[in-house]
Protein backbone atom coordinates (compact mmCIF):
# COMPACT_ATOMS: atom_id res chain seq x y z
CA UNK A 1 0.00 0.00 0.00
CA UNK A 2 1.11 3.58 -0.65
CA UNK A 3 2.33 4.75 2.75
CA UNK A 4 1.36 8.36 2.10
CA UNK A 5 -2.26 7.42 1.38
CA UNK A 6 -2.46 5.24 4.48
CA UNK A 7 -1.05 8.05 6.61
CA UNK A 8 -3.63 10.49 5.29
CA UNK A 9 -6.41 7.98 5.91
CA UNK A 10 -5.39 7.47 9.52
CA UNK A 11 -5.18 11.24 10.00
CA UNK A 12 -8.67 11.86 8.62
CA UNK A 13 -10.17 9.11 10.74
CA UNK A 14 -8.56 10.40 13.93
CA UNK A 15 -8.87 14.18 13.90
CA UNK A 16 -7.95 14.48 17.58
CA UNK A 17 -4.43 13.27 16.85
CA UNK A 18 -2.04 16.20 16.27
CA UNK A 19 0.21 16.22 13.20
CA UNK A 20 3.30 16.08 15.38
CA UNK A 21 2.18 13.09 17.50
CA UNK A 22 5.02 10.84 18.58
CA UNK A 23 4.85 7.05 18.15
CA UNK A 24 3.33 5.35 21.16
CA UNK A 25 5.93 4.13 23.61
CA UNK A 26 4.95 1.71 26.39
CA UNK A 27 5.67 2.87 29.91
CA UNK A 28 5.99 -0.65 31.32
CA UNK A 29 8.35 -3.35 30.10
CA UNK A 30 5.62 -5.94 30.66
CA UNK A 31 3.05 -4.21 28.41
CA UNK A 32 2.03 -6.36 25.42
CA UNK A 33 1.74 -4.37 22.16
CA UNK A 34 1.14 -7.25 19.76
CA UNK A 35 0.89 -11.01 20.18
CA UNK A 36 3.11 -12.47 17.50
CA UNK A 37 2.17 -15.78 15.91
CA UNK A 38 4.13 -19.00 15.94
CA UNK A 39 4.39 -20.19 19.48
CA UNK A 40 4.72 -23.62 21.04
CA UNK A 41 4.26 -26.59 18.72
CA UNK A 42 3.49 -24.37 15.73
CA UNK A 43 6.77 -22.53 16.11
CA UNK A 44 8.72 -25.78 16.39
CA UNK A 45 7.00 -27.29 13.34
CA UNK A 46 7.56 -24.21 11.20
CA UNK A 47 11.18 -23.94 12.31
CA UNK A 48 11.78 -27.57 11.33
CA UNK A 49 10.20 -27.04 7.92
CA UNK A 50 12.19 -23.85 7.33
CA UNK A 51 15.40 -25.68 8.18
CA UNK A 52 14.47 -28.46 5.76
CA UNK A 53 13.93 -25.90 2.99
CA UNK A 54 17.23 -24.16 3.76
CA UNK A 55 19.19 -27.42 3.79
CA UNK A 56 17.61 -28.69 0.52
CA UNK A 57 17.19 -25.55 -1.63
CA UNK A 58 16.71 -27.54 -4.85
CA UNK A 59 14.12 -29.91 -3.39
CA UNK A 60 10.48 -28.96 -3.98
CA UNK A 61 8.91 -31.26 -1.40
CA UNK A 62 10.08 -29.37 1.74
CA UNK A 63 8.81 -26.13 0.17
CA UNK A 64 5.40 -27.68 -0.51
CA UNK A 65 5.23 -28.92 3.09
CA UNK A 66 6.16 -25.47 4.44
CA UNK A 67 3.60 -23.67 2.25
CA UNK A 68 0.86 -26.11 3.26
CA UNK A 69 1.74 -25.55 6.92
CA UNK A 70 1.54 -21.77 6.48
CA UNK A 71 -1.85 -22.05 4.78
CA UNK A 72 -3.14 -24.34 7.53
CA UNK A 73 -1.91 -21.87 10.16
CA UNK A 74 -3.49 -18.96 8.30
CA UNK A 75 -6.81 -20.76 8.55
CA UNK A 76 -6.50 -21.94 12.12
CA UNK A 77 -5.15 -18.64 13.47
CA UNK A 78 -7.39 -16.48 11.24
CA UNK A 79 -4.21 -14.48 10.53
CA UNK A 80 -3.57 -13.31 6.94
CA UNK A 81 0.16 -12.89 7.54
CA UNK A 82 0.69 -16.62 7.17
CA UNK A 83 -0.65 -16.47 3.62
CA UNK A 84 1.95 -13.85 2.83
CA UNK A 85 4.69 -16.12 4.21
CA UNK A 86 3.33 -18.94 2.06
CA UNK A 87 3.36 -16.81 -1.08
CA UNK A 88 6.92 -15.66 -0.45
CA UNK A 89 8.11 -19.25 -0.04
CA UNK A 90 6.32 -20.31 -3.22
CA UNK A 91 7.41 -17.41 -5.45
CA UNK A 92 10.76 -18.82 -6.74
CA UNK A 93 9.11 -22.08 -7.75
CA UNK A 94 6.19 -20.32 -9.38
CA UNK A 95 8.65 -18.44 -11.61
CA UNK A 96 9.93 -21.69 -13.12
CA UNK A 97 8.68 -22.60 -16.61
CA UNK A 98 6.71 -24.73 -16.46
CA UNK A 99 5.80 -24.45 -12.79
CA UNK A 100 5.02 -27.74 -11.07
CA UNK A 101 1.31 -28.66 -10.86
CA UNK A 102 1.36 -28.67 -7.04
CA UNK A 103 2.99 -25.22 -7.00
CA UNK A 104 0.25 -23.92 -9.31
CA UNK A 105 -2.42 -25.48 -7.09
CA UNK A 106 -1.06 -23.94 -3.90
CA UNK A 107 -0.76 -20.52 -5.55
CA UNK A 108 -4.37 -20.95 -6.72
CA UNK A 109 -5.32 -21.64 -3.10
CA UNK A 110 -3.68 -18.36 -2.09
CA UNK A 111 -5.57 -16.56 -4.87
CA UNK A 112 -8.75 -18.24 -3.63
CA UNK A 113 -8.11 -16.85 -0.15
CA UNK A 114 -7.80 -13.35 -1.69
CA UNK A 115 -11.00 -13.97 -3.66
CA UNK A 116 -9.10 -13.66 -6.93
CA UNK A 117 -11.14 -16.48 -8.37
CA UNK A 118 -10.45 -15.96 -12.07
CA UNK A 119 -6.68 -16.05 -11.51
CA UNK A 120 -7.06 -19.14 -9.33
CA UNK A 121 -9.11 -21.00 -11.93
CA UNK A 122 -6.56 -20.26 -14.64
CA UNK A 123 -3.77 -21.75 -12.55
CA UNK A 124 -5.87 -24.79 -11.69
CA UNK A 125 -6.60 -25.40 -15.36
CA UNK A 126 -2.85 -25.37 -16.03
CA UNK A 127 -2.20 -27.70 -13.09
CA UNK A 128 -4.85 -30.20 -14.20
CA UNK A 129 -3.62 -30.14 -17.79
CA UNK A 130 -0.20 -31.08 -16.45
CA UNK A 131 -1.41 -33.56 -13.79
CA UNK A 132 -5.05 -34.66 -14.31
CA UNK A 133 -5.02 -36.89 -11.24
CA UNK A 134 -4.15 -34.11 -8.78
CA UNK A 135 -7.03 -34.37 -6.30
CA UNK A 136 -6.35 -31.08 -4.51
CA UNK A 137 -6.59 -29.17 -7.77
CA UNK A 138 -9.99 -30.69 -8.55
CA UNK A 139 -11.21 -29.97 -5.02
CA UNK A 140 -10.04 -26.35 -4.99
CA UNK A 141 -11.60 -25.79 -8.40
CA UNK A 142 -14.92 -27.25 -7.17
CA UNK A 143 -14.89 -25.04 -4.08
CA UNK A 144 -14.33 -21.88 -6.12
CA UNK A 145 -17.06 -22.82 -8.61
CA UNK A 146 -19.45 -23.48 -5.73
CA UNK A 147 -18.73 -20.05 -4.21
CA UNK A 148 -19.42 -18.50 -7.61
CA UNK A 149 -22.77 -20.30 -7.80
CA UNK A 150 -21.71 -22.43 -10.80
CA UNK A 151 -23.03 -25.67 -9.32
CA UNK A 152 -22.97 -27.80 -12.46
CA UNK A 153 -19.31 -26.97 -13.05
CA UNK A 154 -18.57 -27.65 -9.39
CA UNK A 155 -20.22 -31.08 -9.58
CA UNK A 156 -18.15 -31.83 -12.67
CA UNK A 157 -15.01 -30.96 -10.69
CA UNK A 158 -16.12 -33.07 -7.71
CA UNK A 159 -16.61 -36.27 -9.73
CA UNK A 160 -12.91 -37.02 -10.44
CA UNK A 161 -12.38 -37.18 -6.67
CA UNK A 162 -14.48 -40.35 -6.67
CA UNK A 163 -11.82 -42.01 -8.84
CA UNK A 164 -8.83 -40.64 -6.95
CA UNK A 165 -9.19 -42.54 -3.65
CA UNK A 166 -10.45 -39.54 -1.65
CA UNK A 167 -13.96 -40.80 -0.86
CA UNK A 168 -14.77 -38.47 2.05
CA UNK A 169 -13.75 -35.30 0.22
CA UNK A 170 -15.63 -36.51 -2.85
CA UNK A 171 -18.78 -37.19 -0.83
CA UNK A 172 -18.77 -33.79 0.87
CA UNK A 173 -17.98 -32.03 -2.39
CA UNK A 174 -20.81 -33.73 -4.31
CA UNK A 175 -23.49 -33.49 -1.63
CA UNK A 176 -22.67 -29.88 -0.72
CA UNK A 177 -23.40 -28.91 -4.32
CA UNK A 178 -26.48 -31.10 -4.62
CA UNK A 179 -27.85 -29.45 -1.47
CA UNK A 180 -27.75 -26.10 -3.28
CA UNK A 181 -29.75 -27.25 -6.29
CA UNK A 182 -33.11 -28.32 -4.90
CA UNK A 183 -31.88 -31.54 -3.27
CA UNK A 184 -31.12 -30.36 0.25
CA UNK A 185 -33.12 -32.96 2.27
CA UNK A 186 -31.74 -35.90 0.29
CA UNK A 187 -28.16 -34.60 0.33
CA UNK A 188 -28.40 -33.91 4.08
CA UNK A 189 -29.70 -37.40 4.79
CA UNK A 190 -27.02 -39.04 2.66
CA UNK A 191 -24.22 -37.04 4.24
CA UNK A 192 -25.54 -37.87 7.72
CA UNK A 193 -25.35 -41.56 6.81
CA UNK A 194 -21.79 -41.16 5.56
CA UNK A 195 -20.81 -39.30 8.74
CA UNK A 196 -22.20 -42.06 10.92
CA UNK A 197 -20.85 -45.05 9.00
CA UNK A 198 -18.03 -44.16 6.61
CA UNK A 199 -15.81 -41.46 8.11
CA UNK A 200 -12.26 -42.27 7.01
CA UNK A 201 -10.53 -38.96 6.31
CA UNK A 202 -8.05 -37.03 8.42
CA UNK A 203 -9.15 -34.59 11.12
CA UNK A 204 -9.35 -31.60 8.77
CA UNK A 205 -11.45 -33.53 6.24
CA UNK A 206 -13.77 -34.76 8.97
CA UNK A 207 -14.11 -31.22 10.29
CA UNK A 208 -15.17 -30.07 6.82
CA UNK A 209 -17.78 -32.83 6.76
CA UNK A 210 -19.33 -31.78 10.09
CA UNK A 211 -19.30 -28.06 9.25
CA UNK A 212 -21.03 -28.84 5.95
CA UNK A 213 -23.64 -30.88 7.82
CA UNK A 214 -24.14 -28.05 10.32
CA UNK A 215 -24.71 -25.56 7.51
CA UNK A 216 -27.21 -27.91 5.84
CA UNK A 217 -29.01 -28.35 9.16
CA UNK A 218 -29.27 -24.57 9.57
CA UNK A 219 -30.76 -24.17 6.12
CA UNK A 220 -33.34 -26.82 6.98
CA UNK A 221 -34.11 -25.21 10.36
CA UNK A 222 -32.70 -28.22 12.22
CA UNK A 223 -30.93 -26.11 14.85
CA UNK A 224 -30.52 -28.90 17.39
CA UNK A 225 -28.46 -31.00 15.01
CA UNK A 226 -26.66 -27.92 13.72
CA UNK A 227 -25.43 -27.19 17.26
CA UNK A 228 -24.31 -30.79 17.70
CA UNK A 229 -22.49 -30.85 14.38
CA UNK A 230 -20.69 -27.59 15.10
CA UNK A 231 -19.49 -28.89 18.45
CA UNK A 232 -18.27 -32.08 16.78
CA UNK A 233 -16.34 -29.98 14.27
CA UNK A 234 -14.68 -27.97 17.05
CA UNK A 235 -13.53 -31.20 18.70
CA UNK A 236 -11.91 -32.73 15.62
CA UNK A 237 -9.17 -30.30 14.61
CA UNK A 238 -7.93 -26.83 15.37
CA UNK A 239 -10.67 -24.28 14.96
CA UNK A 240 -10.31 -22.03 11.95
CA UNK A 241 -11.65 -18.71 10.77
CA UNK A 242 -14.40 -20.20 8.64
CA UNK A 243 -15.68 -22.44 11.43
CA UNK A 244 -15.60 -19.58 13.94
CA UNK A 245 -17.44 -17.22 11.60
CA UNK A 246 -20.09 -19.74 10.63
CA UNK A 247 -20.77 -20.81 14.19
CA UNK A 248 -20.82 -17.18 15.37
CA UNK A 249 -23.48 -16.43 12.74
CA UNK A 250 -25.48 -19.40 14.00
CA UNK A 251 -25.30 -18.02 17.55
CA UNK A 252 -26.19 -14.50 16.42
CA UNK A 253 -29.29 -15.81 14.66
CA UNK A 254 -30.39 -17.31 17.98
CA UNK A 255 -29.57 -14.11 19.87
CA UNK A 256 -26.92 -15.92 21.93
CA UNK A 257 -24.81 -12.80 22.09
CA UNK A 258 -22.84 -13.59 25.24
CA UNK A 259 -21.67 -16.85 23.68
CA UNK A 260 -20.49 -14.97 20.59
CA UNK A 261 -18.55 -12.59 22.82
CA UNK A 262 -16.89 -15.48 24.64
CA UNK A 263 -16.12 -17.28 21.38
CA UNK A 264 -14.53 -14.31 19.62
CA UNK A 265 -13.13 -11.96 22.26
CA UNK A 266 -9.56 -13.07 21.43
CA UNK A 267 -10.10 -13.09 17.65
CA UNK A 268 -9.99 -9.36 16.89
CA UNK A 269 -7.16 -9.63 14.34
CA UNK A 270 -9.54 -11.16 11.78
CA UNK A 271 -11.91 -8.57 10.27
CA UNK A 272 -14.85 -10.94 9.78
CA UNK A 273 -14.59 -12.25 13.32
CA UNK A 274 -14.23 -8.76 14.78
CA UNK A 275 -17.37 -7.78 12.87
CA UNK A 276 -19.37 -10.58 14.46
CA UNK A 277 -17.98 -9.77 17.91
CA UNK A 278 -18.96 -6.12 17.45
CA UNK A 279 -22.50 -7.06 16.40
CA UNK A 280 -22.80 -9.05 19.64
CA UNK A 281 -21.32 -6.16 21.64
CA UNK A 282 -23.94 -3.84 20.16
CA UNK A 283 -26.69 -6.04 21.53
CA UNK A 284 -24.92 -6.40 24.89
CA UNK A 285 -24.20 -2.64 25.05
CA UNK A 286 -20.51 -3.18 25.79
CA UNK A 287 -18.10 -0.32 26.41
CA UNK A 288 -15.80 -1.66 23.68
CA UNK A 289 -18.43 -1.16 20.95
CA UNK A 290 -17.30 2.30 19.76
CA UNK A 291 -13.64 1.27 19.70
CA UNK A 292 -14.38 -1.81 17.61
CA UNK A 293 -16.62 0.09 15.20
CA UNK A 294 -13.79 2.60 14.69
CA UNK A 295 -11.28 -0.22 14.14
CA UNK A 296 -13.49 -1.81 11.51
CA UNK A 297 -13.97 1.52 9.75
CA UNK A 298 -10.20 1.98 9.55
CA UNK A 299 -9.66 -1.54 8.27
CA UNK A 300 -12.31 -1.29 5.56
CA UNK A 301 -10.93 2.09 4.50
CA UNK A 302 -7.44 0.63 4.30
CA UNK A 303 -8.82 -2.20 2.15
CA UNK A 304 -10.25 0.38 -0.25
CA UNK A 305 -6.85 2.04 -0.61
CA UNK A 306 -5.29 -1.34 -1.42
CA UNK A 307 -8.00 -2.10 -3.97
CA UNK A 308 -8.92 -5.12 -1.88
CA UNK A 309 -12.54 -6.19 -2.50
CA UNK A 310 -12.49 -9.43 -0.50
CA UNK A 311 -14.61 -8.12 2.36
CA UNK A 312 -17.52 -6.48 0.57
CA UNK A 313 -20.08 -8.82 2.14
CA UNK A 314 -18.70 -8.12 5.62
CA UNK A 315 -18.54 -4.40 4.92
CA UNK A 316 -22.15 -4.47 3.69
CA UNK A 317 -23.14 -6.14 6.94
CA UNK A 318 -21.10 -3.60 8.91
CA UNK A 319 -22.88 -0.71 7.19
CA UNK A 320 -26.30 -2.30 7.59
CA UNK A 321 -26.21 -3.62 11.13
CA UNK A 322 -23.76 -1.30 12.88
CA UNK A 323 -23.85 2.00 10.98
CA UNK A 324 -27.42 1.68 9.64
CA UNK A 325 -26.30 3.09 6.30
CA UNK A 326 -28.60 1.27 3.91
CA UNK A 327 -27.39 2.89 0.67
CA UNK A 328 -23.80 1.82 1.23
CA UNK A 329 -24.86 -1.62 2.46
CA UNK A 330 -26.95 -2.33 -0.63
CA UNK A 331 -24.26 -1.11 -3.03
CA UNK A 332 -21.63 -3.28 -1.36
CA UNK A 333 -23.90 -6.33 -1.27
CA UNK A 334 -24.72 -5.83 -4.94
CA UNK A 335 -21.04 -5.56 -5.89
CA UNK A 336 -20.19 -8.61 -3.77
CA UNK A 337 -22.87 -10.64 -5.58
CA UNK A 338 -20.95 -10.25 -8.84
CA UNK A 339 -18.12 -12.26 -7.28
CA UNK A 340 -19.65 -14.53 -4.63
CA UNK A 341 -23.03 -16.24 -4.61
CA UNK A 342 -23.20 -18.34 -1.48
CA UNK A 343 -26.38 -18.38 0.66
CA UNK A 344 -24.80 -15.86 3.06
CA UNK A 345 -24.15 -13.51 0.12
CA UNK A 346 -27.77 -13.83 -1.00
CA UNK A 347 -28.88 -13.12 2.55
CA UNK A 348 -27.03 -9.84 3.04
CA UNK A 349 -28.17 -8.68 -0.42
CA UNK A 350 -31.83 -9.38 0.44
CA UNK A 351 -31.52 -7.84 3.91
CA UNK A 352 -29.96 -4.68 2.50
CA UNK A 353 -32.62 -4.45 -0.23
CA UNK A 354 -35.35 -4.82 2.38
CA UNK A 355 -33.83 -2.16 4.61
CA UNK A 356 -33.58 0.20 1.65
CA UNK A 357 -37.03 -0.76 0.35
CA UNK A 358 -35.52 -1.35 -3.11
CA UNK A 359 -36.63 -4.86 -4.00
CA UNK A 360 -35.93 -4.34 -7.70
CA UNK A 361 -32.18 -4.25 -7.01
CA UNK A 362 -32.50 -7.71 -5.43
CA UNK A 363 -34.08 -9.30 -8.53
CA UNK A 364 -30.81 -11.03 -9.59
CA UNK A 365 -30.70 -12.79 -6.20
CA UNK A 366 -34.37 -13.76 -6.33
CA UNK A 367 -33.97 -15.16 -9.85
CA UNK A 368 -30.81 -17.05 -8.82
CA UNK A 369 -32.60 -18.64 -5.85
CA UNK A 370 -35.57 -19.67 -7.98
CA UNK A 371 -33.46 -20.92 -10.89
CA UNK A 372 -31.35 -23.20 -8.70
CA UNK A 373 -34.23 -24.08 -6.35
CA UNK A 374 -31.97 -23.03 -3.49
CA UNK A 375 -33.50 -24.23 -0.23
CA UNK A 376 -32.82 -22.20 2.89
CA UNK A 377 -35.43 -21.28 5.50
CA UNK A 378 -33.70 -18.01 6.28
CA UNK A 379 -33.77 -16.95 2.62
CA UNK A 380 -37.34 -18.17 2.29
CA UNK A 381 -38.39 -15.90 5.15
CA UNK A 382 -36.68 -12.93 3.53
CA UNK A 383 -38.28 -13.60 0.15
CA UNK A 384 -41.65 -13.86 1.82
CA UNK A 385 -41.14 -10.46 3.43
CA UNK A 386 -39.85 -8.92 0.19
CA UNK A 387 -42.50 -9.97 -2.26
CA UNK A 388 -44.62 -12.70 -0.77
CA UNK A 389 -42.46 -15.28 -2.53
CA UNK A 390 -41.80 -18.68 -1.05
CA UNK A 391 -39.21 -21.39 -1.60
- Distance separating the N- and C-terminal Cα atoms of the chain: 45
Of 241, 245, 233, 173, the closest CA to residue 204 belongs to 233
What is the chain's alpha carbon radius of gyration, rounded to the nearest angstrom?
A: 22
Q: Rounded to whole angstroms, how far apart are CA atoms 375 and 196?
A: 24
Residue 57 pLDDT:
87
Residue 202 pLDDT:
86
pLDDT surpasses 60 at 295: yes
pLDDT surpasses 90 at 22: no
pLDDT surpasses 70 at 337: yes
Q: What is the chain's mean pLDDT, rounded?
A: 88
pLDDT surpasses 70 at 327: yes
- CB burial readout 83-100, b (16+ within 10 A) else e: bebbbebbeebeeeeebb
Q: What is the DSSP string of 98-127?
A: SPPHHHHHHHHHHHHHTT-HHHHHHHHHHH
Q: Rounded to whole angstroms, how far apart are CA atoms 290 and 377?
A: 33
pLDDT surpasses 80 at 11: no
pLDDT surpasses 90 at 26: no
The pLDDT > 90 percentage for the chain reads 72
DSSP annotation of 222 reads -
List Cβ neighbours of 152 (8 Å cut-off, separation of 6 or more).
Answer: none
57 vs 39 pLDDT, higher one? 57
Chain segment 93-151, per-residue pLDDT in tens = 999 999 999 999 999 999 999 999 999 999 999 999 999 999 999 999 999 999 999 99
Residue 32 pLDDT:
43
Reported pTM: 0.86
The answer to whether residues 339 and 120 touch, using CB atoms and an 8 Å cutoff, is no
Sign of CA dihedral 368, 371, 376, 382: positive
pLDDT surpasses 50 at 20: no
Lowest model confidence (mean pLDDT) among 12-21, 80-89, 224-233: 12-21
∠ CA 134-135-141, nearest 5°, is 100
Band of residue 191 on the pLDDT scale cut at 50, 70, 90: very high
Residue 222 pLDDT:
97
The pLDDT > 70 percentage for the chain reads 88
pLDDT surpasses 60 at 161: yes
pLDDT surpasses 90 at 210: yes
Count of alpha carbons within 13 angstroms of residue 223, beta-carbon side: 8
Residue 24 pLDDT:
41
Amino acid sequence: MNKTKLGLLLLLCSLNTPLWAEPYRPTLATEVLEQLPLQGKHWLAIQALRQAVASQPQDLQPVLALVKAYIALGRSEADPRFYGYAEAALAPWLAQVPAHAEVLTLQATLYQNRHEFSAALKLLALALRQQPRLAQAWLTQAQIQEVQGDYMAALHSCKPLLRLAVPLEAAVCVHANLSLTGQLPAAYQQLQFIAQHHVDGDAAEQQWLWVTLAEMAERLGDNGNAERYYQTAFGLAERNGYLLATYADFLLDQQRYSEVEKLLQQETRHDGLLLRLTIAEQQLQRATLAEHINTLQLRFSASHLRGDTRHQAEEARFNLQLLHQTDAALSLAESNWQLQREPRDARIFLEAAMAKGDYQRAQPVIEFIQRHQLQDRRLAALLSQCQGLTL
